[in-house]
Amino acid sequence: MLRIGIGYDLHRLVKRRKLVLGGARIPFAKGLFGHSDADVLLHAICDALLGAAAQGDLGEHFPDTDLKYKNISSIKLLQKVVHLLKQLKYSIRNIDSIVVAEEPRLAPFKKKISQSIAKILALSPKQVSVKATTTEGLGPIGRGEAISAHAVVLIEKRK
């Protein structure tokens, strides 16, 4: 049985934080603000995976009111989500994602980000698509105040 899930996340950009996207460190003067490392891309992927398996959302599993998740790497959150999917006998078939950011320009980092996600999930890089776009100066993302990410996943129930 095949199932599709969609995920979305948005975080504000702030000074004195590292920018992490898809588990990869991206050189930039600002980072994303959040309870964890605020990796919007991994958060969107987690939500897509949880949704595909009808297991709720990231906030239900890892609430920002729980101090054990303070500054946690989103890689660990994704690993916990994948562990849950494995218990439910699901495997990931592919991930398609897009990061929306005015700055930094992400084109030079897409391959690095895709490889990072593939490595975390023990997938082939051909199973992970990472795209990037801007909002052409519109809204909080266009003003350089935030970064968002969208992800779609296909999972399959193993027999």
Cα–Cα distance measured from residue 83 to residue 136, given in angstroms and rounded to the nearest whole number? 38
Name the nearest CA neighbour of 90 among 156, 153, 152, 46: 156
Name the nearest CA neighbour of 149 among 59, 49, 39: 39
Cα–Cα distance measured from residue 61 to residue 120, given in angstroms and rounded to the nearest whole number? 19
pTM: 0.96
> What Cα–Cα distance (Å) separates residue 99 from each residue in 90, 141, 143?
25, 11, 15
Tokens at 144, concatenated = 């350089």
Q: Which pLDDT value is given to residue 99? A: 98
**Number of domains within the chain:** 1
Q: Which pLDDT value is given to residue 158? A: 87
- Pairing verdict, β 90-100 and 19-21: unpaired
Local structure of residue 62 (DSSP, 8 states): S
Q: Which pLDDT value is given to residue 78? A: 97
Residues of the domain holding 101:
2-157
Q: Which pLDDT value is given to residue 64? A: 87
Q: Which pLDDT value is given to residue 32? A: 97
CATH code for position 42: 3.30.1330.50
Contact, 37 vs 18, CB < 8 A?
yes
- Pairing verdict, β 2-15 and 30-32: antiparallel
pLDDT in tens, the chain (159 residues): 999 999 999 999 999 999 999 999 999 999 999 999 999 999 999 999 999 999 999 999 998 888 888 989 999 999 999 999 999 999 999 999 999 999 999 999 999 999 999 999 999 999 999 999 999 999 999 999 999 999 999 999 987
Local structure of residue 53 (DSSP, 8 states): T
